[in-house]
Structure 1
Amino acid sequence: MARFLLVAGAWLGAWAWDAVVPELCAAGHDVRPLSLSGLAEKRGVAARQSTHVQDIVGEAAAPGARDVVLVGHSYGGVPAGQAAGRIGDRLVRLVLVDAPVPVDGASCVAGWPNGGAVAAAIDAHGGCWPPPGRGFYAGQDLTEEQITRIMDRSTPHPGDTLTEPAVLPRPLSEIPTTYIRCLRNGAGPDARAAELSAGGRWRLVELDTGHWPMFSRPHELARILLREAAER
């Protein structure tokens, strides 16, 4: 039995994994979807990126936590990648789902083409990145109902988590990692993920859906997570 720690991307909380959790539990695993500080039911809690790293590390250190499979989607991959180096031998696999790969000393937005616009939006909205409009989700293999659910439950994302530099205590190349690339998201995988996958250090898995597979293809995503947890 593995302990799955599920970390969703910007604006989202533990609720984003509702359609994935039952299949992982049915396979006999302990599943813990996380809401990071400042998001979802923790809205209003002050948070930096280092706070989110500690949220994850704390859950991985909980009593009985062994054979941890840490899953980070989108932004969630940035604190998850840092936490992975702090979990030690309890971690069996890191899974990054269409996520930016954290770079030591660089902020999350540093490599984004729209990083300047994101920083400006954070400044204009009291230090938080506001959830996007409906058009942001177009072409991502989501139904109108799924888009509405995402928009209705999204919360502003704490801006400091996007601008604080990452701190990697251990090179990501040393951590057993699977990168799930969502093909309908347009761009190819994160350049660093492509490099590590080409070098044989990471496993690259492709999923024919958009950037939010926990909504658009939850069954396929759950099957990939179960397979990756088994192949250690």
Structure 2
Amino acid sequence: MVNFVLVPGAWLGAWAWDEVADLLDADGHGVYPVTLTGLAELHRPDSAQTPQAQHVADILDVARPLSDVVVVGHSYSGIPAGQAAAALGDRLRRLVFLDSNIPIGGQSFADGWSVEGRAWLAGQLAESGGFWPPLTAEDYAGQDLTADQIATIVERATPHPGRAITEPAVLPRPITELPTTYVKCLMDGPTPNGPVLQHLESPSWTLAELDTGHWPMISRPAELSQLLLSVS
């Protein structure tokens, strides 16, 4: 039996993994979807100041009592998930980055963005009291999602803590040493970004692909579940 710790990306909560969790559970595995502090049911008016280290701690609080752990980090959450996985030692079975950012020591989620992108983000945070506002329905177009799925995401998304995406990652060990699969969702771009490609040169890393958009736990839960089982 494998224990899957499933971490959703920006604006989302554990609810985003419901269908995947049901499928993995039906196959006899332990499934632990995580809601990060400040998001979904844990969202509070002062959540903007939630530090990235708290998100790492949220994942470790779930993962540390387990063995044979597969940590899955989607989108933003690849950053805290990678840091948590690096701290798990021999409890870690595999780290899966799901179309995600990866943690680079001393760099934040936004550090790899263009000057214009960082300025845009700073404006978003300033206008929203330190939060990163959720996407609009139009932003989900072309990502293999139905109208109903988009409506659900938009309705349930909550503002993301700005502090967590502007603080640098701290790695207890290089993630190139960890048994890792990077999953690229092809409708969100055909190839991983430069830092991911560099990390994929590690013999501990493999690349997998899904022909869907950036939210495969919602658009293709069955295919994603099978992929997670196959790499674990």
Q: TM-score, normalised by structure 1?
A: 0.95
Query: Which residue in 2 is equivalent to 1:139?
Result: 142
Please list the CA deviations of residues 40-81 of structure 1 after superposition, one character each: whole Å capped at 9, or x if unmatched. 01001451111000101111123xx11000000000101001
| Count of equivalent residues | 227
Deviation at 1:119, TM superposition (A): 2.1
Contact kept? 1:101, 1:190, Cα under 8 Å: no
* CA–CA distance in structure 2, aligned partners of residues 11 and 74 of structure 1: 10
1:162 maps to which of 161, 165, 168: 165
* CA–CA distance in structure 2, aligned partners of residues 41 and 153 of structure 1: 10
Deviation at 1:196, TM superposition (A): 2.3
Contact kept? 1:95, 1:177, Cα under 8 Å: yes
Contact kept? 1:69, 1:93, Cα under 8 Å: yes
2:209 maps to which of 194, 206, 209: 206
Query: Which residue in 2 is equivalent to 1:82?
Result: 83
Structure 1: which 5+ residue stretches go unaligned?
none
Contact kept? 2:176, 2:202, Cα under 8 Å: no
Please list the CA deviations of residues 151-175 of structure 1 after superposition, one character each: whole Å capped at 9, or x if unmatched. 0000000000000010011101100
Contact kept? 1:68, 1:92, Cα under 8 Å: yes
Residue pairs, 1:57-76, within 5 angstroms = 57-62=60-65, 65-76=66-77
* CA–CA distance in structure 1, aligned partners of residues 221 and 118 of structure 2: 29
The one-letter amino acid paired with 2:5 is L
The one-letter amino acid paired with 1:83 is A
Contact kept? 2:74, 2:99, Cα under 8 Å: yes
Please list the CA deviations of residues 163-218 of structure 1 after superposition, one character each: whole Å capped at 9, or x if unmatched. 00100111011000000000000262132221222443311001101100011111
* CA–CA distance in structure 2, aligned partners of residues 187 and 110 of structure 1: 22
Deviation at 1:115, TM superposition (A): 2.5
Query: Which residue in 2 is equivalent to 1:47?
Result: 50
Query: Which residue in 1 is equivalent to 2:29?
Result: 29
C-alpha root-mean-square deviation of aligned residues, in Å?
1.2
Structure 2: which 5+ residue stretches go unaligned?
none
2:195 maps to which of 192, 196, 200: 192
Contact kept? 1:99, 1:190, Cα under 8 Å: no
Deviation at 1:138, TM superposition (A): 1.0
Q: Does 1:11 align with 2:11?
A: yes
Query: Which residue in 2 is equivalent to 1:102?
Result: 103
* CA–CA distance in structure 2, aligned partners of residues 126 and 196 of structure 1: 35
* CA–CA distance in structure 2, aligned partners of residues 67 and 115 of structure 1: 38
Over 4 Å off, 4+ runs = none
* CA–CA distance in structure 1, aligned partners of residues 8 and 218 of structure 2: 11
Contact kept? 1:95, 1:180, Cα under 8 Å: yes
